[in-house]
Amino acid sequence: MSLAIDVRGLTKRYDGRAVVDGLSLSVAAGRICGFLGPNGSGKTTTIRMLCGLLTPDAGSGQCLGLDLERDAPAIRREVGYMTQRFGLYEDLSIRENLDFIGRLYELPRRREAVDRALDRLGLAPRQRQLAGSLSGGWKQRLALAACLMHEPKLLLLDEPTAGVDPKARRDFWDQIHQLAAEGITVLVSTHYMDEAERCHELVYIAYGKVLARGTEAEIVRDARLVVWSVQGEGLAALVAPLKAMPGVLSVAAFGNAVHVAGHDEVAVAAAIAPWRADPALNWQRTSANLEDVFISLISAAPDNFTSLAAA
């Protein structure tokens, strides 16, 4: 399969700190790649380098067969970039915003292109409504419609579903899978584990470095986590002492349970031993999930900002 994204060693520094540090990434055409990481991990900076808005300090590669530095203007015309925040004009209607985007891209038959975008995202009945009066879910649809106006081959979506309701998120992901089926490649950053599970492959990044990559099954398998789940009374009081125990990488609440994870089976068993005899608590060995892996990876990753400050 041809690669829509193929970059190596991407690096971007601000004030002496590597916000993105030697990142390599390859995504095949027509695939949906989930880009996961905590706030400040370098996801947005990476996306901006991939779409030609930022020049890397080091590294090289291609997007859609175009050189990342030499062909940056051409990449921008072939990529649809959806920012974290709604970036269209709130005092223009839906149609007026899309018409403006069509003018920017100098689209032939602009009116027809706007009509197609309105129909594709179900925006036609609201086309006269001001963008500023839309709910989060409808603003999201409008932003995606604007990204698709020029028929890009690659979509770069930066936390596109933040702040929208579950139904709007589900409708959005149905649309993303339809686009991928049409051959469009999607790189999407998200904090939602249910969305990560809908991606073909995942990349975990923290403090500018890739920590893990692969399919959901591969990442969970390769993490080799030992996970115990505990249910019962007074769980909140357990979190802090369990986090302080040797061999414990992460302690996190999941509904009515708390998951305790680590790499060494003997060490984790020893860590939870003081509470195993409590009749008010029910302990069970369980399988790791993506969130267990995510929390454990972040817990083990060195913070480059803290390291720089200490130096």
**pLDDT at position 163:** 77
**pLDDT at position 310:** 37
Q: Which of 176, 195, 214 lies at the terminal end of a domain, its last residue?
A: 214
Helix 110-120 crosses helix 94-104 at what angle (to 10 degrees)? 130
Q: Which of 195, 214, 233 lies at the terminal end of a domain, its last residue?
A: 214
**pLDDT at position 265:** 96
**pLDDT at position 164:** 81
Query: Residue 309: pLDDT above 50?
Result: no
CB atoms under 10 Å from CB of 209, counted, come to 18
Q: In terms of domains, do 44 and 158 share one?
A: yes
Kind and range of the H or E run holding 3: strand 3-14
**pLDDT at position 302:** 67
> How many domains does the chain contain in total?
2
pLDDT category of residue 311 using cuts at 50, 70 and 90: very low
**pLDDT at position 275:** 95
Residue 159 belongs to what domain range? Answer: 3-214
- Which residue from 50, 42, 39, 52 is spatially nearest to 17, judged by alpha carbons? 42
The maximal CA–CA distance of the chain, rounded, in angstroms, is: 73
- For residue 33, list its beta bridge partners: 187, 201
The strand order across the sheet containing 281-286 reads 250-254, 257-262, 226-232, 281-286
**pLDDT at position 296:** 86
pLDDT category of residue 25 using cuts at 50, 70 and 90: very high
* CA–CA distance, 32 with 218 (Å, rounded to integer): 16
Q: Among 39-53, 225-239, 294-308, where is mean pLDDT lowest?
A: 294-308
Question: Which residues 6+ apart lie within 8 Å of 277 measured at CB?
Answer: none
Query: Looking at residue 42, which CATH number applies to its domain?
Result: 3.40.50.300
Average pLDDT over residues 252-278: 94
Q: In terms of domains, do 8 and 55 share one?
A: yes
Q: In terms of domains, do 57 and 157 share one?
A: yes
Q: Where do runs of H (alpha helix) occur along 67-122?
A: 72-78, 94-104, 110-120
* CA–CA distance, 248 with 269 (Å, rounded to integer): 10
Q: In terms of domains, do 190 and 70 share one?
A: yes
* CA–CA distance, 29 with 220 (Å, rounded to integer): 24
Q: In terms of domains, do 48 and 154 share one?
A: yes
Q: In terms of domains, do 8 and 63 share one?
A: yes
